[in-house]
Amino acid sequence: MLASVARIAILVLVLAGGGCPAMADDLSEFNNRVERAESHNRVAIGYLRTGNLDLASIELDRFRDAWASVQQGFAGKRPHVFDNNPQYAVAMTDIATRLVTADMMLKIGRPDAARQSLEAIRGDLYDLRKSADVKVLADCVRDANTAMDALMVYNDRALEWTKADIRDDVASKASAYGAVLDRCDGMADDAVRKAPEFRRLVDGAKASLTLIPKAIAARDGDLLHRVLIELRSFDNLLAFRYG
């Protein structure tokens, strides 16, 4: 407990400008450092979800170390895009607190609470970047997750296909999800866009989406169910790897 309190004090000191000298005003470097930290957060969340607490603890430690690099580099001089943005200080403080909370919850045997804290950090970063119109792949993938949630509402083999508004809405939500996937594909950097894993997930999801008009035309609830389960699998893997 004392160690956790000490971490909070150190993090607050860094936020107040008492840490390492600030780096140059470089949004690209900020985004790169945040992404390195978020990559460990995603893996930690995945391990917590599957109950692998030992590996989750290792990734949480790596996440904390990577996040310290973000704070040490940008506490004294935030990227220019966040100047006069009150959300920046709020997000930095909240994330520091959530990291300590996640660590404490994991140590006392409450992995679900630890996962909630780590997932909330993803939300903090999403909201921060959105407040400054900063666009990164991770946030696009989060938007894709939201679009997929909306489409999954129709995962029902007994769908009332006779209602035109239902058929139209399934098509509309599938189209919306495809549009977000296209956006994510377009904004990924060359290395990610060409990576076999990324291509498998994005192209696989796009291929699955082509079956939805067929399910609607045939009014085939079983086909729609299979497609949506497949899409959700691609969507979850995108979130785990790139969100």
Give the pLDDT of residue 25.
53
Structure tokens at 154: 């129709």
Structure tokens at 90: 């709020």
Structure tokens at 196: 């076999």
Give the pLDDT of residue 17.
39
Give the pLDDT of residue 31.
94
**Is the pTM above the cut of 0.75?**
yes
d(CA 67, CA 83): 20
d(CA 114, CA 109): 9
Give the pLDDT of residue 243.
84
With a CB cutoff of 8 Å and minimum separation 6, the contacts of 43 are 59, 240
Give the pLDDT of residue 116.
96
Spatial contact of 181 and 202, defined as CB atoms under 8 Å apart:
yes
The residue count for the chain: 243
Q: Where are the domains of the chain?
A: 2-131, 137-242
* Percent composition of the chain: helix, strand, coil (DSSP 3-state, to 5): 80, 0, 20
pLDDT values of the chain reduced to their tens digit, one per residue, 243 residues:
444 444 544 444 444 333 444 444 589 999 999 999 999 999 999 999 999 999 999 999 999 999 999 988 887 788 999 999 999 999 999 999 999 999 999 999 999 999 999 999 999 999 999 999 999 999 999 999 999 999 999 999 889 999 999 999 999 999 999 999 999 999 999 999 999 999 999 999 999 999 999 999 999 999 999 999 999 999 999 998 998
Q: What torsion do the CA atoms of 86, 10, 139, 60 make, to the nearest 10 degrees?
A: -160
d(CA 243, CA 235): 10
Cβ atoms within 10 A of the Cβ of 155, count?
15
d(CA 27, CA 17): 18
Type of residue at 43: V
With a CB cutoff of 8 Å and minimum separation 6, the contacts of 34 are 70, 125
Give the pLDDT of residue 73.
87
